Amino acid sequence: MAQRRSALINVMANAAIRAGRSLTRSFGDIEKLQVSMKGPADYVSEADHRSEKILFEDLQKARPHYGFLMEEAGVVEGTDNSNTWIIDPLDGTMNFLHGIPHFSISIGLERDRDLFAGVVYEPITDQMFWAEQGKGAFLNERRLRVSTRRDVKECLFSTGIPFAGREGHKSYLAQLENVMAGAAGVRRTGSAALDLAYVAAGRYDGWWEKGIKPWDIAAGIVLVREAGGVISDYSGKKEMMKKGEVIAANVDVHKPLKRFLDDAA
């Protein structure tokens, strides 16, 4: 029997679908703009803002008193101090810019300072990952569980690589060397929100990254938790949103993955 989405998840999913249509149209055009960096970069900015505007308008219409934390527009205070939407209108911008069809829309809801619900939508493949506190995690209508692998040598991990302008290149390379030596493989696909969704779906056995923003991970944290996974910051605490760092995996793999990173410090 298919799981019925709550009214809250329907609001989030419908907003993501409408914004996703806008991104898909823009993505079709941007592939024709691979002639200069200036043109595509400007177009990505337009696509970001257009997607965020749709999300803001739809979510505000459905829940007019909620606040917002958005990647582009920043903070919009609501009269309901308990609820805040945390939005990334286009996660995977570099992929989008280069015509790679791997990007997403991420909508998280923080309620009473706890992440309560999340939607990560991959518009190109029409994959809707969603989760609500205490109700499980789902891909479209199918229940999700994290992977059951216990042997790290059989595990496939995902990560985010610090790019130009970010700190920590040397420490990251040490981490990567440790994970490479102990795991079956490592991938870097370019969307933190989708990385977490894929951990929730059991596609990746774990993921780690540092230097990320709340809108990158808010929805994904709910997905992993509700899929039975373990998620923490690098110290093993639950300050992922504050510190901008995440280790996510199943219960058997989280500690070994953390140990790889600890040993690289």
Query: What pLDDT, in 10s, does the model give residues 85-144?
Result: 999 999 999 899 888 999 999 999 999 999 999 999 999 999 999 999 999 999 999 999
Nearest residue to 12 via CA among 81, 105, 83, 90: 105
pLDDT digits (tens, 9 = 90+) for 161-176: 887 767 778 889 999 9
pLDDT digits (tens, 9 = 90+) for 56-92: 999 999 999 999 999 888 999 999 999 999 999 999 9
Q: For 199-254, write each residue's pLDDT tens digit.
A: 999 999 999 999 999 999 999 999 999 999 999 999 999 999 999 999 999 999 99
* Overall average pLDDT of the 21-33 stretch: 83
Q: How many CA atoms lie within 13 A of 193 on its CB side?
A: 30
Contact 194, 104 (CB under 8 A): yes
- List, in order, residues 6 or more apart from 184 with CB less than 8 Å away: 153, 154, 155, 156
Quick one: pLDDT at residue 30?
Answer: 73
Domains of the chain: 7-143 (3.30.540.10), 152-264 (3.40.190.80)
Question: Could you tell me if 88 and 106 are in contact, meaning their C-beta atoms sit under 8 angstroms apart?
Answer: yes
Distance, CA of 258 to CA of 188 (rounded, Å): 18
Q: Are 76 and 122 in contact (CB under 8 A)?
A: no
Q: Which amino acid is at 247?
A: I
Contact in structure between 139 and 121 (CB atoms under 8 Å): no
Distance separating alpha carbons of residues 193 and 119, to the nearest angstrom: 9
Chain-centroid distance, C-alpha 197: 7
**What is the Cα–Cα distance from 126 to 14, expressed in whole angstroms?**
12
Q: Which one-letter DSSP state was computed for residue 152?
A: G
